[in-house]
Chain A
Amino acid sequence: QVTLKESGPGILQPSQTLSLTCSFSGFSLSTYGMCVGWIRQSSGKGLEWLANIWWNDDKYYNPSLKNRLTISKDTSNNQAFLKITNMDTADTATYYCARSRGYFDFWGPGTMVTVSS
């Protein structure tokens, strides 16, 4: 059974760095072809893909966030991570991680992140 769950700070101040953790089970990111992605959703708005990381450590980022994103993984502990630097109020959103096979076939419940001074 594949499950994923996001965790994060809940609230942080503008200019701080957001660190998110995706803890998953039911698959391994060391298995050929496996991939985990991050997607966010601002309040009342649509979905925005942020980044993907593959079993072989390949990474793709959404260029709209320029150089603010860093995705990484800890295969031994079945976790994936996302860091976003220089957070702004516009980054307030629910952040999801999901297993990706091109499409996202399993999603976590999401973690809400609020950026406020």
Chain B
Amino acid sequence: DIQMTQSPSSLPASLGERVTISCRASQGISNNLNWYQQKPDGTIKPLIYYTSNLQSGVPSRFSGSGSGTDYSLTISSLEPEDFAMYYCQQDASFPYTFGAGTKLELK
């Protein structure tokens, strides 16, 4: 199985701040890396697919980059609704695997 190591696990940040969340795969995943946001009520929505493609309806302050084994999600200027959990996921091979999550919280 491909292990996904996400960091940091917790990220205190302020409104308007730029933040980056990292995700490292245990082997190359050829850009097959996706990012999701989970709100406290459990609702999950996709943000970025295939490393850098913005899901329809997702604000442009979200962006993704990376290659090989190392990927990142950047939020350029935090809005109140961005404080949530974030997960990376690889779909390069089965079984699909997720990172352990990053809790983005208000500083």
Contacts and interface: CB of A to CB of B under 8 A. Distances in A.
Contacts of A41: 42
A46 B4 CA distance: 12
Interface in A41-91: 41, 46-49, 52, 60-64
A102 B49 contact: yes
A46 B99 contact: yes
A102 B31 CA distance: 12
A47 B88 CA distance: 10
B49 to A, nearest CB: 4
Interface stretch (B11-19, B71-79, B90-98): B90-98
Interface string A13-45: 000000000000000000000000100010000
A94 B42 CA distance: 9
B contact patch SS: loop
Contacts of B49: 101-103, 105
Contacts, number: 58
Interface string B53-95: 0010000000000000000000000000000000101010011
Given A46-B100, A47-B89, A96 B44 contact: yes
B73 to A, nearest CB: 13
B96 to A, nearest CB: 4
Interface residues of B, number: 23
Given A102-B91, A103-B34, A105-B55, A47 B98 contact: yes
Given A60-B94, A105-B49, A110 B42 contact: yes
Contacts of B98: 46-49
Contact of A102 (B32, B87, B100, B101): B32
Given A47-B98, A49-B89, A104-B44, 20 more contacts: A46-B99, A46-B100, A47-B44, A47-B89, A48-B98, A49-B95, A60-B94, A60-B95, A62-B95, A64-B95, A98-B44, A101-B49, A103-B49, A104-B46, A105-B46, A107-B43, A107-B44, A109-B42, A110-B42, A110-B44
